[in-house]
Amino acid sequence: MKVSIVEFPGSSGVEDAVYACSEILGFTVKTVWHQDEFVSATDLLIIPGGAAFGDYLRPGALTKASPITGAIRKCAKDGVPVIGIGNGFQILCELEILPGILLPNITSEFLGSEVYVCVDSTNGVWTKSLEPGLTLKLPMGCYNGRFFVDNRSLRDLEENERIAFRYCDDEGEVDIVNPFNGSLRSIAGIYNRHGNVLGIMPHPERAVENLLTTDDGLKVFKALL
> What pLDDT digit, counting tens, does each position of 59-68 carry?
899 999 999 9
Mean pLDDT, residues 181-191 taken together: 97
> What pLDDT digit, counting tens, does each position of 117-176 carry?
999 999 999 999 999 999 999 999 999 999 999 999 999 999 999 999 999 999 999 999
Query: What residues contact residue 211 under an 8 Å CB cut-off, 6+ apart?
Result: none
The total of structural domains in the chain comes to 1
> What pLDDT digit, counting tens, does each position of 22-37 carry?
999 999 999 999 999 9
Enter the pTM of the model: 0.96
Contacts 24+ apart (CB under 8 A), 131-135: 133/172, 134/219, 135/168, 135/170, 135/171, 135/172
Confidence of residue 57 (pLDDT cuts 50, 70, 90): confident
- Whether residue 121 contacts residue 162, with contact meaning beta carbons closer than 8 Å, is answered with yes
- Whether residue 189 contacts residue 149, with contact meaning beta carbons closer than 8 Å, is answered with no
Query: What residues contact residue 26 under an 8 Å CB cut-off, 6+ apart?
Result: none
- Quick one: which of 139, 135, 196 has its CA closest to 165? 135
Please tell me the distance from the alpha carbon of residue 35 to that of residue 176, in angstroms, as a whole number. 41
For residue 213, is pLDDT > 90? no
For residue 212, is pLDDT > 80? no
Mean pLDDT, residues 33-50 taken together: 96
Confidence of residue 56 (pLDDT cuts 50, 70, 90): confident
For residue 6, is pLDDT > 90? yes
What is the CATH number for 78?
Answer: 3.40.50.880
In the chain the first and final C-alpha atoms are separated, in Å, by 9
Q: Which helix (H) or strand (E) segment is 87 a member of?
A: helix 87-94
Domain range holding 43?
A: 2-224
